[in-house]
Amino acid sequence: MISSGAATTTYPLPVDLSQVQGVVLRGYHMRFARYFTLSAKEGERDAARGFAGSLVDGSAGVPQIQTAVSWGANKPSTCLNIGFTSGGLVNIGMPSELVAASFNTYAHRPFYNGAATNNVSIGDVGPNDPQYWLIDDRKFDVMLALWADTLANLNATSAVLRNIFSAGFTETGAFDSQDLPDGQIYFGYRDGLGQPTLIGNISQQPPDGDQTLVDTGAFILGTGTTPFFNADTVNVPQPAPFGNFGSFGAFRMLQQHVDHFEAFLDANAPAFGQMYSIADLAYAREALKATIIGRWSNGTSLMYWPFSKGTPPPNLDDQTINDFGYANDLHGYTCPFGSHIRRGNPRDSQPDQDASLHRIMRRAMPYQNPYDPNDRNTGETGLIGFFINSSLTDQFEFLMSQWIDSYGSLSQDPADPAIGYNVLAYDPSKPGDVPPYNFTLSAPKPIPPPRTVTLPLTIGAPPFTQTRGSAYCFLPGICGIEWIATKGWIRQG
Ligand code: HEM
């Protein structure tokens, strides 16, 4: 019989950073990353689990999992984290009924069923359809994520890992990412600015416009103290040593069609400039670009620096750059409702709704394939990495379906102009079909009421971004990795 093991655990747990995988709470700010997808070898489950265990037991010569404990002044040259797919847990030996009991629940069902299951509601249709994915959680068991300060260190540690994991796993893929100067991503915006501040500010975020502090339970299972994120509402996978301090990562590989994006800006800047009486075409282009995301290329928010004010200051400090809300812009005149950051986190836009319930940690970086340090604009380019939360249902998938890819109360536009997909135009009876991708951005207009005008922006297919891979991973706490490695389910019997 499989016992739940929950009886001995009292929730909420104190936040124990030494039990939490580091990527959940901090960006590593490393220059390179490599994501290995691994499949357990038939008949080699012991070796597969043994490898997982060796990452947390201090084994000599084996890179260890980075925890969320501060490294102070001693920043490591590499960081390693691990995630398991739902099928992967079964393939390395965990009883399928225990996997179902833990994950076939309201909060964790997207993980249990896989990233392709709710593809229509989250916009993975047309060119984003799972059939085109290079990374798919139905096709591998374990994701090993390695970050490094140099390419040499990335390759050296990769070689060590490959040597060890090959006993139990077949490497089915390795996907690289490399940072761009000044914290930029493709399309030329600064990224990584808006991240949740947790109760207790354990990840040391600067001021963020007095947004509601987010429950630690939104990211670390078992530590929630508020009704939305406590252990009853976002169940901790059982038994407790397996689930406590775990989290989930929606791993996304998103190709960015920079040429489409640039061509769009070129084509629409003149009309945009005309609408807003901006004579300088280059400036009109930058203002249009800022309107799409809600921030200027250098990260300055439109709320701090509306585009009617001219070029924003070049180097604002991080305190200023993220310290804003939308309470003074409830009609979207300064920052359009449809802009990417206002959709991704409406902050105080809707006084009757608590945006803090749907926050995510963003841990994605640019990728270029093949990597060319001398010309970063060749080959396939995009963004790759984890979007982290404790409830894929109420955080990542809610955000994608209700805010990014939906009309709803946030915006009269069908989808996010930067990354969204017009699911309303999608015809499920033609799954391979590329629907027309037209949207309007209700841009602010500095004239007397009614001040909102609809700027028709027509985008060809495929859109600016395209889903190239998606995998929902369970990121166990350190105790969870040990439990898996030592076949904890046997002890439960
Ligand atoms: C290629 C795809 C993407 C691009 C180019 C992109 C671009 C950006 C940029 C430039 C920012 C502003 C910088 C910042 O606030 O840190 C941002 C913020 C943000 N993005 Fe994205 N993003 C992408 C994918 C996504 C996805 C898939 C999601 C949802 C799961 C998302 C959710 C957010 C959120 C929540 C914020 C912060 C908003 C805030 O707190 O004010 N982004 N993104």
**Domain range summary for the chain, segments of one domain joined by +:** 6-254+470-492
CA of 144 relative to ligand 1 center, distance in Å: 24
Secondary structure element (H or E) that encloses residue 22, with its range:
helix 22-25
Is the backbone peptide bond immediately before 239 cis, with ω within 30 degrees of 0? yes
Q: What is the dihedral of CA 380, 383, 386, 390, to 10 degrees?
A: -130
- Regarding the beta carbon of 392 and ligand 1, being less than 6 Å apart is answered no
- Regarding the beta carbon of 269 and ligand 1, being less than 6 Å apart is answered no
Which residue of 191, 394, 466 sits with most ligand 1 atoms within 8 Å of its CB, as the best mutation to test the pocket? 191
* pTM confidence score: 0.95
Q: List all residues 6 or more positions away from 250 whose beta carbon is below 8 Å from its beta carbon.
A: 115, 360, 386, 387, 388, 389, 392, 396, 470, 471, 472
**Rounded to whole angstroms, how far apart are CA atoms 117 and 416?**
21
Q: Among candidates 159, 177, 173, which has minimal Cα distance to 38?
A: 173
**Rounded to whole angstroms, how far apart are CA atoms 387 and 36?**
17
Q: Among candidates 393, 16, 388, 15, which has minimal Cα distance to 235?
A: 393
CA of 470 relative to ligand 1 center, distance in Å: 16
CA of 45 relative to ligand 1 center, distance in Å: 38
CA of 340 relative to ligand 1 center, distance in Å: 7
CA of 192 relative to ligand 1 center, distance in Å: 8
**Rounded to whole angstroms, how far apart are CA atoms 176 and 188?**
20
- Regarding the beta carbon of 341 and ligand 1, being less than 6 Å apart is answered yes
**Rounded to whole angstroms, how far apart are CA atoms 210 and 197?**
10
Q: Give the residue whose CA is nearest to atom 39 of ligand 1.
A: 194
Q: Among candidates 246, 203, 233, 234, which has minimal Cα distance to 89?
A: 246
Are 364 and 172 spatial neighbours (Cβ–Cβ below 8 Å)?
no
- Residue with token string 């620096």: 305
What pLDDT does 438 receive? 58
Tokens representing 280 are 């300088």
Tokens representing 240 are 């407790």
Ligand 1 atom nearest the C-alpha of 252 is: 27
CA of 485 relative to ligand 1 center, distance in Å: 35
- Regarding the beta carbon of 203 and ligand 1, being less than 6 Å apart is answered no
Sign of CA dihedral 232, 235, 238, 244: negative
- Regarding the beta carbon of 254 and ligand 1, being less than 6 Å apart is answered yes
Q: List all residues 6 or more positions away from 74 whose beta carbon is below 8 Å from its beta carbon.
A: none
pLDDT in tens, the chain (493 residues): 344 444 579 999 999 999 999 999 999 999 999 999 999 999 999 999 999 999 999 999 999 999 999 999 999 999 999 999 999 999 999 999 999 999 999 999 999 999 999 999 999 988 899 999 999 999 999 999 999 999 999 999 999 999 999 999 999 999 999 999 999 999 999 999 999 999 988 877 788 989 999 999 999 999 999 999 999 999 999 999 999 999 999 999 999 999 989 998 998 899 888 888 899 999 999 999 999 999 999 999 999 999 888 899 988 888 889 999 999 988 788 898 889 999 999 999 887 889 999 999 999 999 999 999 999 999 999 999 999 999 999 999 999 999 998 765 566 677 888 898 777 777 767 655 555 555 677 776 655 555 566 776 665 555 789 999 999 999 999 999 999 999 999 976 4
Ligand 1 atom nearest the C-alpha of 383 is: 1
Backbone angles phi and psi of 267, in degrees to 5: -70, -35
Q: Give the residue whose CA is nearest to atom 7 of ligand 1.
A: 191
What pLDDT does 6 receive? 45
Q: Give the residue whose CA is nearest to atom 40 of ligand 1.
A: 194
Which residue of 387, 419, 466 sits with most ligand 1 atoms within 8 Å of its CB, as the best mutation to test the pocket? 419
Tokens representing 31 are 């220059």
Q: Among candidates 169, 140, 171, which has minimal Cα distance to 47?
A: 169
- Regarding the beta carbon of 321 and ligand 1, being less than 6 Å apart is answered no
- Residue with token string 């207009």: 445
Q: Which residues are bridge partners to 454 per DSSP?
A: 442
